[in-house]
Structure 1
Amino acid sequence: MTKENLIPAIEFCSLHEIELSFINSLHEFGLIDIVTKRHTAFLRTEELPKLEQFLLFKKELNVNLEGIDIIIKLLKRVQEVQKDMSIIKNRFQLHEKP
C-alpha cells in the first residue's frame, strides 16, 4: 500500500467536521478499515465513498452506529437477493426459449 492510497483520518474528520471518535467507532464495528503508521491513523481512499455514505446516514438521517451497521448489512443482503434473482431469471429465460 503506497502513501498515495491513504489519507490521514484526522484530515478527513476536519474536512467533514466530525470527531475522530466516529471513525474509530466505525472501525470497531468492522465497517471500515484503519491503517496505522507511526501512531497516525490513515484511511484507504477506496473506503471514502463508503465513509461518506455513513456520514449521510449519521448527519442527514440521524442514524446511530448500530443503525448504520444494520443498514449496511441489509443493503448487502438486498444486493445478494437481487443477484440471485437475476441468475434465476436468466435460467428461466433459457428454458422458455423455443
Structure 2
Amino acid sequence: MDSKELISIQQICTSYNIPASFIDALQTYELIEITITDKSKFVKSNQIRTIEKLIRFHYELDINLEGIHAISNLLNKVENLQDEINMLRNKLNFYRENESF
C-alpha cells in the first residue's frame, strides 16, 4: 500500500482538535478502518470525508456514537437504493429507446 494514501491518526486528531479515542471508537463501531504500520495508526485518505462527517455529527450536532452508527447505516442504505433506482431507470430508458426495433 502506498504510504501517500495513509494519514496518521495523530495528524487527524491535531488538525480537527479531537481525541484519538474518538477515532478508535469510530473503528469499534466499524464506521472507519484503521491500518497499523510500524506501531502507528493510520486511515486511508479516502476516509477523510467520512471522518469529517462523523466529527460534525458528534461534535456539532451532539449525536452519540450509537446514533452515528444508526445514521450511517441508514445513509448507506439510502445511497444503495438511489444507485439501484438509477440502474433501473437506465434499463428502462434503454428498453424505451429500443422499443421501436
Shorter-chain TM-score: what band? 0.7 to 0.9
The match for 1:39 is 39
AA aligned to 1:19 is: P
Structure 1 runs not aligned, ≥5 long: none
After the TM superposition, which residues 25-36 of structure 1 pair with which residues of structure 2 at under 5 Å, given as runs? 25-36=25-36
AA aligned to 1:59 is: Y
The match for 1:15 is 15
| Whole-angstrom CA distance in 1 between matches of 2:32 and 2:86 | 29
Determine if the alignment matches structure 1 residue 79 to structure 2 residue 82: no
Query: Closer, same or farther in 2 for the Cα pair 1:28/1:89, shift >3 Å?
Result: same
| Whole-angstrom CA distance in 2 between matches of 1:56 and 1:47 | 14
Shift of 1:90: 3.7
TM-score, with structure 1 as normaliser? 0.86
AA aligned to 1:68 is: I
CA RMSD of aligned residues (A): 1.7
The match for 1:68 is 68
1:15-56 C-alpha deviation (Å, 9 max, x unpaired): 111000000010111111111122211111111111001111
